[in-house]
């Protein structure tokens, strides 16, 4: 049922938030940023797929828009970042 699914997604988002705050408090060093960003990516995916209805979207155009944006951003940020780091 759709209503129950929305509520479960919300619960999952809150649980992931709790996990990310706990992880950050653990003092596990440099790997922490990777973990919290991975969780943020996971949370965003849940919001995009279920709250923004991309999971049930039938139009191919809309389905590929977000992956395109993410690819552009990844190139954009990734290339500049490696340039700065290796200067």
Partner 1 sequence: METSEARDDSVGSRIGMWLFLLSEILIFGGLFLLYAVYRAKHPVDFHNASLALSRFDGTLNTAVLLTSSLTAVLAIYSLQELGKKRASAWFLGATIALGGVFLVVKGFEWAAKFEHGLYPRAAELLKHPPGEILYFGLYFTMTGLHALHVIIGMTVLSVVLSWVVKGSVNQKRSAILENAGLYWHLVDIIWIFLFPLFYLIS
Residue 71 touching partner 1 (CB under 8 A): no
Q: Which of 57, 51, 42, 40 is nearest to 9 (CA)?
A: 51
40, 48 Cβ separation under 8 angstroms: no
Q: Which of 29, 56, 61, 67 binds partner 1 (CB under 8 A)?
A: 61
Tokens, residue 9: 């997604």
Q: Which of 14, 28, 31, 55 binds partner 1 (CB under 8 A)?
A: 14
Rounded-to-integer distance, Cα 40 and Cα 14, Å: 12
DSSP 30: T
The residues of the shown chain that bind partner 1, judged by CB under 8 A, are: 2-3, 6-7, 9-10, 13-14, 17, 20-21, 24-25, 32-33, 36-37, 39-40, 43-44, 47-48, 50-52, 59, 61-62, 65-66, 68-69, 72-73, 76-77, 80-81, 84-85
């Amino acid at each position: 049922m759709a209503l129950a699914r929305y509520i479960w997604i919300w619960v999952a988002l809150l649980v992931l938030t709790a996990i990310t705050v706990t992880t950050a408090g653990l003092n596990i060093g440099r790997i922490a940023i990777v973990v919290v960003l991975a969780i943020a990516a996971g949370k965003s995916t849940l919001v995009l797929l279920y709250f923004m209805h991309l999971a049930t979207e039938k139009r191919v155009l809309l389905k590929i828009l977000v992956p395109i944006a993410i690819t552009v951003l990844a190139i954009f940020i990734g290339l500049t970042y490696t340039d700065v780091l290796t200067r």
